[in-house]
């Protein structure tokens, strides 16, 4: 790796993926106009650009590969509240953190409900990665609650996009600069995992998850919700997968009812993940606030939120009943209903990701290899959850590779984090991920459900997607980069 010309900014060559890149220049724009000027200048010079937020991503999306880093952390102003068709909005620059957004919203009794978990992440980073958090079960990904966008194209064009104004039709979509993005009809036959434009899709949602390839969000207008009057967090511990399968099937049906509609999160942690959490609990200041995590158990965290306390309590009792009917023991549960206690339980999900990242990096060091996070981020059909769980378990057992299974259970957006101990096991891990990815494609699921592709998954995705899909993306990138 070449030494950067700005050694004092060496930390900006990496993100939480553990990868380290290289760059010749770095810039910190403070507003949309400056960002647009930088993008324009770089395009004219043929300089590669890497866009960065707070570099909390796990897939290397913020790691530069030469050229210019544009870090948006100084575009961190909250520009005010607005209202559109009766909906409360918060206008922010791309570098505003999710923590700052929540604080500003809470002062008005409001909240950005999608909650993509990592509070030090930025609004622009959330949009670029297409991130979703635990509340995605109820509210979807964060970008679906972006009501307007100030977008900077790779050539420095500055667009204002309001939701509902630019929609893809049969052959493409009109654009804010008066142009038109044309989409060949054959693209509609390519896998959903290619994330190509779809008929009826809003331009905002198409740009989300493009990770800097089509430009950058400079400002966002975020849809806010009233803070719910009440919230319950419940952890159910299970001794075997039979209980989990029966419970999850019942929850999927129940979630479609009025009472089940209060369910906003369903986060799973297998036994291996709970063991990591328990070990860390004995050492970590934040996790020490949790009770001891029982050995030999998996866990499912449910969160219920709403304004009617009676309805919330009825929903809570419903979930207990379904757990019991699935063979679970009500004594093996935790339940809390204060905001502070709920936040404490939520630490389990955030901490699991960090602990697995640390464990993965440690295994790579033991093998004297560059850090590579071997972890799936698939989103498959929810009705096939049981089959996917069995597929993951069987693959791990037959390969002998250690792994952790955790994530958004009812959406069938589970992560399998593989922790190979040897180089041959690393090769087996790669083969397993490809095998699972092929099944996801057959089921028309997503290969990158909520964390983005970045540089970690690029080769993996290219091996799985058909050449026509890769060519379609080259066409899109060329179109957005053209004058």
What pLDDT does 3 receive? 44
- Give the pLDDT confidence of 172-222 residue by residue, as tens digits: 999 999 999 999 999 999 999 999 999 999 999 999 999 999 999 999 999
Instruction: For residue 2, name the pLDDT band (cuts at 50, 70, 90).
Output: very low
Instruction: Indicate if the pLDDT at residue 475 is higher than 60.
Output: yes
Share of the chain above pLDDT 90, in %: 77
Show the 3-state SS of the chain.
CCCCCCHHHHHHHECCCCCECECCEEECCCCHHHHHHHHHHHHHHCCCEEEECCCCCCCCCCCCECCEEEECCCCCCEEEEEEECCEEEEEEECCCEHHHHHHHHHCCCEECCCCCCCCCCEHHHHHHHCCCCCCHHHHCCHHHHEEEEEEECCCCCEEEEECCCCECCCCEEECCCCCEEECCHHHHHCCHHHCCCCCCCEHHHHHCCCCCCCCEEEEEEEECEECCCEEEEEEEEECCHHHHHHHHHHHHHHCCCCCHHHEEEEEEECHHHHHHHHHHHCCCCCHHHCCCCCCCCEEEEEEEEECCHHHHHHHHHHHHHHHHHCCCCCCCEEEECCHHHHHHHHHHHHHHHHHHHHHHHHHHHHCCCCCCCCECECECCHHHHHHHHHHHHHHHHHHCCCEEEEEECCCCEEEEEECCCCHHHHHHHHHHHHHHHHHHHHCCCECECCCCCCCCCHHHHHHHCCHHHHHHHHHHHHHHHCC
Instruction: State pLDDT tens for residues 327-337.
Output: 999 999 999 99
| pLDDT score for 413 | 94
Q: So what's the pLDDT on residue 4? A: 45
The pLDDT tens digits of the residues spanning 19-33 come to 888 999 999 999 999
Asked, colleague to colleague, whether 78-226+475-481 and 230-452 share their fold, the answer is no
- The overall average pLDDT reported for the chain is 92
pLDDT of residue 131: 87
Region 239-255 average pLDDT: 95
Predicted confidence at residue 403, as pLDDT, reads 95
For residue 230, pLDDT beyond 70: yes
Q: In this model, does residue 434 exceed pLDDT 90?
A: yes
pLDDT tops 90 at residue 94: yes
Fold observed for domain 78-226+475-481: 3.30.465
pLDDT band per the 50, 70, 90 thresholds, residue 136? confident
CATH class of 230-452: alpha beta
- Residue 480 pLDDT > 80, yes or no? yes
- Kindly indicate the confidence band of residue 1, based on its pLDDT and cuts at 50, 70 and 90: very low
Q: What is the mean pLDDT of residues 33-45?
A: 96
Q: How confident is the model at residue 7 (pLDDT cuts 50, 70, 90)?
A: low
What is the pTM assigned to this prediction? 0.93
Given this model, what pLDDT does residue 6 score? 60
- pLDDT-based confidence at residue 117 (cuts at 50, 70, 90): low
* Spans of all domains in the chain: 78-226+475-481, 230-452
């Amino acid at each position: 790796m070449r030494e950067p010309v700005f050694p004092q900014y060496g930390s900006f060559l990496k993100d939480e993926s553990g990868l380290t890149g290289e760059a010749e220049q770095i810039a910190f724009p403070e507003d949309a106009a400056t960002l647009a000027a930088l993008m324009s200048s770089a395009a004219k010079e043929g300089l590669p650009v890497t866009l960065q937020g707070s570099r909390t991503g796990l897939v290397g999306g913020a790691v530069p590969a030469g050229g210019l880093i544009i870090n948006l952390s100084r575009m961190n102003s909250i520009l005010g509240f607005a209202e559109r068709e009766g909906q409360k909005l918060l206008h922010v620059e791309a570098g505003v953190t999710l923590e700052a957004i929540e604080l500003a919203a809470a002062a008005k009794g409001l909240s950005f409900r999608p909650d993509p978990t990592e509070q030090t992440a930025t609004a622009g980073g959330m949009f670029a990665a297409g991130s979703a958090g635990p509340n995605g079960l109820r509210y979807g990904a964060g970008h679906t609650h972006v009501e307007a966008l100030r977008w900077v194209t790779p050539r420095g064009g500055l667009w204002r996009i309001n939701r509902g104004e630019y929609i893809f039709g049969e052959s493409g979509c009109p654009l804010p600069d008066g142009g038109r993005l044309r989409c060949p009809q054959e693209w509609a036959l390519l896998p959903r995992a290619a994330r190509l434009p779809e008929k009826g899709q809003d331009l905002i949602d198409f740009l989300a998850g493009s990770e800097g390839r089509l430009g950058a969000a400079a400002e966002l207008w975020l849809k806010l919700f009233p803070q719910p009057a009440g919230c319950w967090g419940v952890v159910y511990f299970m001794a075997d997968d039979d209980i989990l399968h029966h419970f999850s099937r019942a929850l999927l049906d129940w979630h479609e009812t009025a009472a089940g509609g209060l369910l906003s999160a369903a986060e799973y942690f297998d036994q291996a993940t709970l063991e990591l959490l328990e070990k860390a609990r004995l050492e970590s200041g934040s996790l020490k606030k949790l009770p001891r995590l029982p050995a030999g158990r998996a866990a499912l965290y449910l969160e219920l939120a709403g304004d009617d306390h009676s309805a919330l309590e009825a929903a809570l009792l419903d979930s207990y009943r379904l757990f019991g009917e699935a063979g679970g023991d009500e004594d093996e549960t935790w339940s809390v209903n204060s905001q502070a206690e709920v936040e404490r339980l939520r630490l389990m999900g955030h901490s699991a990701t960090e602990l697995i990242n640390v464990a993965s990096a440690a295994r790579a060091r033991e093998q004297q290899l560059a850090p590579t996070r071997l972890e799936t981020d698939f989103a498959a059909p929810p009705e096939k959850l049981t089959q996917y769980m069995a597929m993951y378990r069987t693959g791990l057992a037959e390969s002998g590779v250690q792994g952790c299974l955790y994530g958004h259970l009812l959406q069938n957006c589970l992560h399998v984090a593989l922790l190979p101990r040897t180089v041959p096991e690393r090769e087996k891990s790669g083969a397993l991920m490809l095998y699972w990815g092929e099944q996801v494609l057959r089921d028309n699921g997503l290969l990158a459900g909520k964390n983005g592709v970045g540089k970690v998954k690029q080769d993996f995705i290219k091996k799985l997607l058909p050449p026509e899909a890769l060519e379609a993306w080259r066409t899109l990138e060329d179109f957005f980069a053209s004058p």
